[in-house]
Amino acid sequence: MGHHANNPYGSGDKAVRAIDRKREQERKIMLSAAYKFADELALKLVQRLLDQHIIETTSESAIREVFANLLRSLPDIEDFDFQFKIAPLRQLAANPNFMSLYLTQFIIEDLVNHAKIDDVFRDDVDVYKAVDSVLDKIRPTDL
């Protein structure tokens, strides 16, 4: 007679748990880097958004400060609030950067209403690509 395992999906469960651990480790590394390099990332992000004509602003420094503060506050955001914020954009990319999704949604939903922002141009994918081109630098590649 054949051997019956208690859980025929056991190996699948192990793979899922390994992927979850990898994602959680990636998340911790990225949140730490975002906090540590908030000013530098904010500078690069605002410059990229301006260069690609995604935002129009009356004060680059004010918007840099907004992004630096947001990047520093990311580790303190509850997971539910994080997931709720990125939910509309989750299907935007095949292997999305969670932080890029969050900042993209922030730009589309919140930054557009900032007093120093004249307008936000382009579609969600263009905004995501611009944001991710900056934040991808802090995404670990060896996990």
Return phi, psi of residue 59, to 5°: -150, 100
Question: Is 32 domain-assigned?
Answer: yes
Q: Say what the pLDDT of residue 24 is.
A: 87
Q: Say what the pLDDT of residue 9 is.
A: 56
Residue 121 lies in domain: 10-138
Question: Is 2 domain-assigned?
Answer: no
Question: Is 66 domain-assigned?
Answer: yes
State the total domains in the chain.
1
pLDDT in tens, the chain (143 residues): 555 555 555 566 787 787 778 888 989 999 999 999 999 999 999 999 999 999 999 999 999 999 999 999 999 999 999 999 999 998 988 889 999 999 999 999 999 999 999 999 999 999 999 999 999 999 888 65
Q: Say what the pLDDT of residue 20 is.
A: 78
User: Token match 């007093």: residue?
Assistant: 115
Please give the distance of CA 50 from its chain centroid, rounded to a whole number: 19
Question: Is 21 domain-assigned?
Answer: yes
Return phi, psi of residue 120, to 5°: -120, 125
Question: Is 1 domain-assigned?
Answer: no
Q: Say what the pLDDT of residue 120 is.
A: 93
Q: Say what the pLDDT of residue 19 is.
A: 76
- Give kind and range of the element (H or E) at residue 130: helix 124-135
φ/ψ bin of 41: left (φ > 0), alpha (ψ from -120 to 50), beta (otherwise): alpha
Residue-wise DSSP of 54-119: -EEES-HHHHHHHHHHHHHHGGGS-HHHHHHHHGGGTTSSSS--HHHHHHHHHHHHTGGGSTTEEE
Question: Is 3 domain-assigned?
Answer: no
Question: Is 5 domain-assigned?
Answer: no
Question: Is 143 domain-assigned?
Answer: no
Q: Say what the pLDDT of residue 104 is.
A: 97
